[in-house]
């Protein structure tokens, strides 16, 4: 599976989800891969995301937020939107309809204390594990 995680800024949720997915794929010995993108990308990953991912031994500090593009969508066979509002923004785009789209309505921790980032990270980690376990129920929140 090639998963593309999409949020607004590609600075908090989607870089964490991308890293958690790739970590889980490696842990399970699978060749799956993830990337991430945002509708309005920031210039750098949020400090809170860096801090809470470092707690798991994952360094996301070098992540470069990028804008959602046709090429990224074409690369993916699974789009995972991390915000219900994003699904409304992308509904009119014909290239988004070719992929399987999941909507995980995940809290945006941008500008919040680190404990919010930790809660979002743990939520994303559970969702990624469910995705790998094939638990399709509950994947749409």
- Which pLDDT tens digit goes with each residue over 33-46? 999 999 999 999 99
Q: Residue 7 in 3-state DSSP?
A: strand
pLDDT of residue 132: 94
Q: What is the side-by-side order of every strand in the sheet holding 2-7?
A: 33-38, 2-7, 78-81, 100-103
pTM for the model stands at: 0.90
Mean pLDDT over 57-64 rounds to: 96
Token pair for 77 = 């066979």
CA 51, CA 22: separation in Å to the nearest integer? Answer: 18
Which residues are within 8 A (CB) of 9 and not within 5 positions of it... i.e. 6 or more apart? 38, 40, 41, 42, 65, 110
| Nearest residue to 140 via CA among 99, 75, 82 | 82
Band of residue 67 on the pLDDT scale cut at 50, 70, 90 = very high
CB 57, CB 26: distance < 8 Å: no
Reported as a single tens digit per residue, the pLDDT across 18-34 is 999 999 999 999 999 99
- Residue 123 burial by Cβ neighbours in a 10 Å radius (0-12, 13-18, 19+): middle
CATH class of 2-133: alpha beta
Per-domain residue ranges of the chain = 2-133
Band of residue 119 on the pLDDT scale cut at 50, 70, 90 = very high
Give yes or no for residue 16 having a pLDDT over 80: yes
């Amino acid at each position: 599976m090639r998963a593309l995680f999409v949020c607004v800024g590609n600075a908090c949720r989607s870089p964490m989800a991308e890293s958690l997915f790739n970590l889980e794929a490696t842990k399970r010995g699978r060749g799956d891969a993830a990337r991430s993108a945002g509708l309005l990308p920031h210039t750098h990953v949020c400090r809170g995301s860096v801090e809470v991912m470092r707690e798991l031994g994952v360094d996301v500090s070098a992540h470069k937020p990028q804008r959602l593009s046709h090429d990224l969508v074409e690369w993916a066979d699974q789009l995972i939107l991390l915000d219900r509002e994003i699904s409304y923004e992308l509904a009119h785009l014909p290239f988004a309809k070719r992929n399987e789209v999941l909507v995980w309505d995940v809290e945006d921790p941008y500008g919040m204390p680190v404990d919010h980032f930790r809660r979002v990270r743990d939520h994303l980690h559970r969702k990624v594990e469910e995705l790998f376990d094939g638990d399709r129920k509950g994947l749409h929140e």
